[in-house]
Amino acid sequence: MNATHITDDTDAMAADAGAEGTLLQVKLAKEAARFNNVTGLDADTARKLFLLRQAIVLPAPDTPGAAQELAEIATRLQSTYGKGKGTVRGQETGGNDIEALMGTERDPKVLKEMWESWHKVGTPMAADYARLVEIANAGAKELGFADTGAMWRAGYDMPAADFERLVDRLLAEVMPLYTDLHCYTRTQLNAKYGDAVQPKTGPIRADLLGNMWAQQWDSIYDVVAPKGAGDVGYDIGELLVSKNAGPLEMVRHGENFYSSLGFAPLPDTFWKRSQFTKPADREVVCHASAWDLDNKDDLRIKMCIKVNATDFVTIHHELGHNYYQRAYNKQPYLYLNSANDGFHEAIGDWAALNVTPEYLVKVGLLGAEKVPDASRDIGLLLRQAMEKVPGMPWTALVDKWRWGVFSGETRPADYNKAWTDLRLRYQGIVPPGERPADAFDPGAKYHIPGNTPYARYFLARILQFQFYEAACKQAGWKGPLHRCSVYGDKAVGAKLNAMLEMGMAKPWPEALKAFTGSDQMSGKAMLAYFAPLHAWLKQQNKGQQCGW
């Protein structure tokens, strides 16, 4: 209720329910922790006890009132975000709208205003966030973890330290591609805006990249597109508008993709109970999300859909959660989840990779005569890379920041400096101006006040390409990997569903192997997908001082 109708009353209701749920989760987690060193348990029982111990994101300690205080803070943080406003040319603008405008505005002064005004939403959160960390850490220690970050990292079928090393290894695999994309993009931005706005060397100004957090850059494809080959011949948003396709039709397209693979249609209740557009009469959390209300068939999405390419892709992503939720709904309660949280995010992203020109022809959005030929492949790959590749360092650093906060390595007075330093180190970006002393920029990203662990999105960036490469091999695809779409291949759908049905019943390497044939996560599939582009980028960057 609170996510779709933000009021003081629903804030209070959410806080009360959150406190009650936290108390129960902590109680069960502590009971499960009593068996940590017990030997002789069968594998199924041991796994269920482990998952019960890991089921809570923000644990509260036994201290009287701690669970209530934690729930109230968590609700207040999310509500503050949901009510947040920025300005565009002095006009107050909601977060969902200002986020969309970041992708179309090209005046650097206005972009700076938008970026800085929206980031003010985090300022009142700082003290609450520090207190939240204090309470959650006390709860995590009672469960036997060093801190909340260590508890999060322990949830991946490996020791927490090994998971951190896995993230670093995967990031190192793909960073050469990101560095070359950064170098090329910076050159194009310098050519457009000049040295005074974007220097030829060093980091990129964060607000110039078409996204409030610079997590994807595809909205500025028009700025960086190579001459000649850059025009790929279509824009999904324009195609939808030309077909008079509104939000509901966009969701129908998403459902159709999964139906073509053999998945059953979404239930009637999905269409009656989902939020597809922003209501005019109340405040809501517009950040897209997918819901399974009864662990059976009450599936829903919550979005404020705009008719554009980004939301078309997001719909495929959110529906991926719903189809995954329904696939494992016959598992025991503790296994009602994906193999790890990265799998849940990756399925929808995998589906979106199948939105190729050929797919658009099959679903009637693009005329066959407008399918770009091989001479446009660099353009197609560059546009895709602008969406996918910048997310690699971004999705790694969000939780790296939180891990430092939870461990105490980053003190409250240094929260914003640590955030800005990590963004420079990993993304090679800087704010458009000096940050005020009371800034709390992390709060401007939903997942921080929303307390959603972010490593799942990093893993999803890797896994989606592994899933995609495996599916294309299963389908017998022989052309360039990025042109493959398994739309309509029910054999691939059946094998995919077999993995999805496993839920969390087995360690994630077993689930990964069931679909891809390998039990190791690797960035090689992503690199293979973008190999032609990476070679082209290296040629374009000759003579440039890459890096930051």
Q: At 529, which amino acid appears?
A: Y
Give the tokens for residue 513. Answer: 């192997």
Write the pLDDT tens digit of every residue in 168-202. Answer: 999 999 999 999 999 999 999 999 999 999 999 99
Q: What domains lie within the chain, and their CATH numbers? A: 8-173+391-444 (no CATH), 236-389+455-539 (1.10.1370.30)
For residue 29, name the pLDDT band (cuts at 50, 70, 90).
Answer: confident
Given a cut of 90, whether residue 370 has pLDDT beyond it is no
Task: Output 163 or 374, whichever has higher pLDDT.
Answer: 163
Task: Tell me the C-alpha to C-alpha distance, in Å, between residue 346 and each of 87, 277, 307, 315.
Answer: 34, 24, 23, 13
- What is the distance between the alpha carbons of residues 16 and 394, in angstroms, rounded to a whole number? 33
Residue 1 has a pLDDT of 58
Write the pLDDT tens digit of every residue in 66-116. Answer: 989 999 999 999 999 989 999 999 999 988 889 989 999 999 999 999 999
**Number of C-alpha atoms within 13 angstroms, CB side, residue 295?**
11
Residue 229 has a pLDDT of 62
Write the pLDDT tens digit of every residue in 384-395. Answer: 999 999 999 999
Q: Is 344 exposed, middle or buried (0-12, 13-18, 19+ CB in 10 A)?
A: buried
For residue 280, name the pLDDT band (cuts at 50, 70, 90).
Answer: confident
Beta-carbon contacts of 508 under 8 Å, excluding residues fewer than 6 positions away, are: 156, 157, 339, 340, 342, 343
> Which is nearest to 302 in space by CA: 291, 314, 312?
291
Q: What is the mean pLDDT of the segment spanning 390-401?
A: 97
The mean predicted confidence, pLDDT, of the chain is 92
Given a cut of 60, whether residue 122 has pLDDT beyond it is yes
H or E element that contains 377: helix 377-388
For residue 477, name the pLDDT band (cuts at 50, 70, 90).
Answer: very high
Write the pLDDT tens digit of every residue in 484-497. Answer: 999 999 999 999 99
Residue 203 has a pLDDT of 98
Tell how strand 85-88 and strand 289-292 pair up: unpaired
Given a cut of 80, whether residue 283 has pLDDT beyond it is no
pTM attached to this predicted model: 0.89
CB atoms within 10 A of CB 260: 19
Write the pLDDT tens digit of every residue in 438-476. Answer: 999 999 999 999 999 999 999 999 999 999 999 999 999
Residue 195 has a pLDDT of 97
Residue 17 has a pLDDT of 76
Residue 6 has a pLDDT of 64
- What is the distance between the alpha carbons of residues 379 and 482, in angstroms, rounded to a whole number? 12
Residue 382 has a pLDDT of 96
